[in-house]
């Protein structure tokens, strides 16, 4: 996977420790954290640094790839992949966008670029993703990219400290190709 990915409006790059205060501020917003499985609320000091410190080792082991999403030079969110515990041919896509940048197409644009990069560079047959039932915006992002619903499940929410109804989605490599994702961008 490349260190930096670009779209018309965005730069996806590796996080660094200088990003920690911004990650804490954006992901620590209740409206963001409450829609994520693994982000606690409140988002305490030091947690962003701990999370960022895991990235190099996970990337080296090909277990995960985390990217900061920048728009106009400003960190506005995060997107990444985690290896699947259940399926060695799959990675799970996850993302969040700071509240001030919702409804601008940023998640869709960043996810499209990462999907293209993933299928171009990694020997995976499918991507998976999930969202809480009430997070319709996340479902729309994934549907635009060709993901389809495959199951309903329960997802633990760190922020809400509860199990919530979730929806699982999947994008096989073959569907990405027929959805014109793999022909839509280059992987310079």
Residue 140 covered by a domain: yes
Q: What is the pLDDT of residue 188?
A: 40
Q: What is the pLDDT of residue 74?
A: 98
Q: pTM for the full model? A: 0.94
Local structure of 162: helix, strand or coil: strand
Q: What is the pLDDT of residue 87?
A: 80
Tokens 């073959």 -> residue: 174
Residue 158 covered by a domain: yes
What CATH number should be reported for the domain holding residue 14? Answer: 3.40.630.30
Q: Are 127 and 148 in contact (CB under 8 A)?
A: no
Q: Are 67 and 75 in contact (CB under 8 A)?
A: no
Residue 184 covered by a domain: no
Q: Give the count of domains, the chain.
A: 1
Q: What is the pLDDT of residue 97?
A: 99
Q: What is the pLDDT of residue 179?
A: 74
Residue range(s) defining the domain that contains residue 50: 4-178
Residue 127 covered by a domain: yes
Residue 183 covered by a domain: no
Q: Are 26 and 76 in contact (CB under 8 A)?
A: yes
- H or E stretch at 5: strand 4-6
Mean pLDDT by groups of 10 residues along the chain of 188 residues: 98 99 99 98 98 98 97 99 87 98 98 96 95 98 97 97 98 86 51
Residue 91 covered by a domain: yes
């Amino acid at each position: 996977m490349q260190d930096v990915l670009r779209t018309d409006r965005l730069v996806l790059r590796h996080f660094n420790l200088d990003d920690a205060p911004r990650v804490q501020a954006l992901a620590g917003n209740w409206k963001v954290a409450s829609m994520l499985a693994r982000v606690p609320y409140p988002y305490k000091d030091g947690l962003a640094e701990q999370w960022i410190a895991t990235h190099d080792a996970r990337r080296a082991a090909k277990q995960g790839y985390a990217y900061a999403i920048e728009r106009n030079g400003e960190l506005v969110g995060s997107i990444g992949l985690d290896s699947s515990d259940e399926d060695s041919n799959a990675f799970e896509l996850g993302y969040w966008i700071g509240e001030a940048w919702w409804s601008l197409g940023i998640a869709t644009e960043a996810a499209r670029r990462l999907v293209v990069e993933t299928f171009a560079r990694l020997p995976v047959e499918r991507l998976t993703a999930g969202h809480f039932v009430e997070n319709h915006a996340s479902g729309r992002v994934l549907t635009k990219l060709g993901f389809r619903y495959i199951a309903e499940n329960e997802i633990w929410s760190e922020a809400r400290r509860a199990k919530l109804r979730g929806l699982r989605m999947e994008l096989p490599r073959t569907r990405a190709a027929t959805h014109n994702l793999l022909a839509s961008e280059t992987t310079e």
